[in-house]
Structure 1
Amino acid sequence: MIDFHCHLDLYPDPEMVVRQADEARIYVLSVTTTPKAWRRTSALAKDCTRIRTALGLHPELAHERHAELPLFEALLPQTRYVGEVGLDGSPDLKPHADIQRKVFKTVLKFASREGGRILSIHSRRAPDEVLNCLRAEPNAGTAILHWFSGSQAQLRRAVDQGCWFSVGLPMSRSEKGRALLANLPRDRVLTETDGPFAQDNGRPLRPPDVFGMLEALSSAWKVPADEVRSQMAANLRHLTAQAFNTLRQFV
């Protein structure tokens, strides 16, 4: 199985979570929230062949950490994965909208200049603006919209622009979320936890919890869970082959 958006470095016990993921043979994209966190987070999984570490600058921190953009640029050649990046239109972040846009657009330009990256993107309350930025930088790479929560019209636009989607258990617990899951292009979906931020009955989700998404997607798509599992594996192979022109870049 696959956890394509997890903050390994932000658990109280990151080494244990890494061991659990490794023992469960889960492919993990370990996203970071600041460039300064990337080296230390990468070191957590240095011996794990199924874990990759993405270089991020989270939109909630853009106004505080935008001075780290030169470090982002310097580190980018060392990884083929970028995340968590994007925009957040939540009311408390409105005063920082301009710096968010500047940071996200700069990150996309860096990625484009480096030949493209796989990007795990935050788009809460800002899907149209995120899509506008992606359209302006078509060579930035393959966009995976993490925990997408836009409208059905915005979903169709994202699909038309070639976006992928990473989905977790919280999406399956609301009527809107289940409707979005049902309409996702099945060949462009990967599972995620967003742990430790996303929780299950007060417990932070961990990579092995992605197995719960098999049943959620099985219900949304009206297919057997084994078919969902096979689809996820095929999607990961296709994503890495499409982005890197090889079937074995992630594994």
Structure 2
Amino acid sequence: MTGEGGAQPKTYVTERSKDGRKNLSYPPAPEPLQVPVYDNHCHLDIADGEETLSLAEQLDRAEAVGIAGVVQSSGDIPSSRWAVEAAEADPRVLAAVAIHPNDAPIYAERGQLDEAIAVVDELAAHPRVRAIGETGLDFFRTGEEGRPAQIASFEAHIALAKKHGVAMQIHDRDAHREVLGALDRAGAPERTVFHCFSGDAEMAREATEKGCWLSFAGNVTFRSAQNLRDALAVTPVERILVETDAPFLTPTPLRGRPNAPYLVPLTVRFIARELGADLDELCATIARSTREVYGDFGA
């Protein structure tokens, strides 16, 4: 199924840096899943690799291997507008809109953070916007001076998710305790997802006890990511979602090459092996949970 005319949003397309990367070709398609799932977090507005794919081409490749739809996530105003355009252009796309935690201090320095959040508020009223995201805290890239703006932005986004009755996608990097503390202070939205979950088993237990979903990306396959596999092992299967964070975090053994939604089956199969789960049953559960969080894609 293609979108209306296969339209490609034109508002905002940037390109990922290729410095030092050796293989910029898209990997071959994996074996298709028999039970379709969804990529609940990707950035198709970021071009990558040697081949520039349109929105329709990305979605067609994904659909051919059992990826029924994607949630296009955002980090600033241009990408949020692009996400809405993409969701309007193709029924296989839902939009998430937000100011990324690393962008919040930049908007604040310009005196534009409140204005930017107001635009997110306006966009969130669109029926194809099903999440506020990605928002949260990132203490890896932003220093002490930027943390007040991040926290203020995060709490404002929490309020927007509740106001619009949509899900929230959390970006959490080196800020686990602070993110959980903010959720305790403000109250987590009913449908809260830890995008690209980066914590350990203890945090996974805490987050799922709060009713959150944990979304696992290709980095769960990395040799160095035992903490993620430990977290996966204690996460109730009905709280597991899957994503690419494309074009980033391409799963093993394809690290360094462009990532895209059509590679989700690699991560799903890895998760099934780790859990000792039946692949089809796992896919059915992930698909059901994704629709529970974001609603129907075609609606």
* Unpaired stretches in structure 2, ≥5 consecutive residues: 1-36
State the Cα distance separating 1:91 from its structure 2 match.
Answer: 6.0
Cα RMSD over matched residues? 2.1
Q: Secondary structure at the match of 1:57?
A: coil
Mapped contact 1:195–1:205 kept (Cα < 8 A): yes
State yes or no: 1:118 paired with 2:167: yes
Mapped contact 1:142–1:163 kept (Cα < 8 A): yes
1:85 to 106, 112, 135: 135
Mapped contact 1:135–1:161 kept (Cα < 8 A): no
Q: Which moved more, 1:224-233 or 1:102-111?
A: 224-233
Q: Would you identify which runs of 4 or more consecutive aligned residues in structure 1 move more than 4 Å?
A: 12-15
Aligned residue runs from structure 1 range 187-226, under 5 A: 187-199=238-250, 200-226=254-280
Mapped contact 1:169–1:216 kept (Cα < 8 A): no
Amino acid in the other structure paired with 1:47? A
Partner of 1:109: 159
1:227 to 249, 257, 281: 281
Mapped contact 1:18–1:45 kept (Cα < 8 A): no
State the Cα distance separating 1:185 from its structure 2 match.
Answer: 1.5
Partner of 2:41: 5
Partner of 1:59: 101
Compared CA separation, residues 46 and 15, structure 1 to 2 (3 A): farther
State the Cα distance separating 1:92 from its structure 2 match.
Answer: 4.5
Residues 180-239 of structure 1, C-alpha deviation per residue, up to 9 Å, x if partnerless? 222211101111000112233311210011011222111121112222212212222333
Amino acid in the other structure paired with 2:158? L
Partner of 1:178: 229
Compared CA separation, residues 237 and 71, structure 1 to 2 (3 A): closer
Mapped contact 1:29–1:52 kept (Cα < 8 A): yes
Mapped contact 1:20–1:208 kept (Cα < 8 A): yes
Mapped contact 1:7–1:31 kept (Cα < 8 A): yes
Amino acid in the other structure paired with 2:106? E
Partner of 2:186: 137
State the Cα distance separating 1:65 from its structure 2 match.
Answer: 2.3
Partner of 1:24: 62
Distance in 1, Cα, partners of 2:70 & 2:81: 17
TM-score after normalising by structure 2: 0.75
Count of matched residue positions in the alignment of Structure 1 and Structure 2: 244
State the Cα distance separating 1:3 from its structure 2 match.
Answer: 0.7
State the Cα distance separating 1:35 from its structure 2 match.
Answer: 2.4
Amino acid in the other structure paired with 2:264? V
Distance in 1, Cα, partners of 2:118 & 2:292: 32
Compared CA separation, residues 210 and 123, structure 1 to 2 (3 A): same
Distance in 2, Cα, partners of 1:91 & 1:237: 32
Distance in 2, Cα, partners of 1:94 & 1:22: 43
Partner of 1:156: 205
When Rg is computed on C-alpha atoms for both structures, the one with the higher figure is 2
Partner of 2:122: 74
Q: Secondary structure at the match of 1:119?
A: strand
Distance in 1, Cα, partners of 2:38 & 2:194: 15
Distance in 1, Cα, partners of 2:294 & 2:157: 20
Q: Which moved more, 1:160-169 or 1:12-21?
A: 12-21
Percent of matched pairs sharing the same residue:
27
Mapped contact 1:18–1:44 kept (Cα < 8 A): no
Q: Which moved more, 1:145-154 or 1:203-212?
A: 145-154
State the Cα distance separating 1:102 from its structure 2 match.
Answer: 0.7
Mapped contact 1:89–1:124 kept (Cα < 8 A): yes
Distance in 2, Cα, partners of 1:152 & 1:105: 25
Partner of 2:80: 38
Compared CA separation, residues 240 and 39, structure 1 to 2 (3 A): closer
Amino acid in the other structure paired with 1:217? I
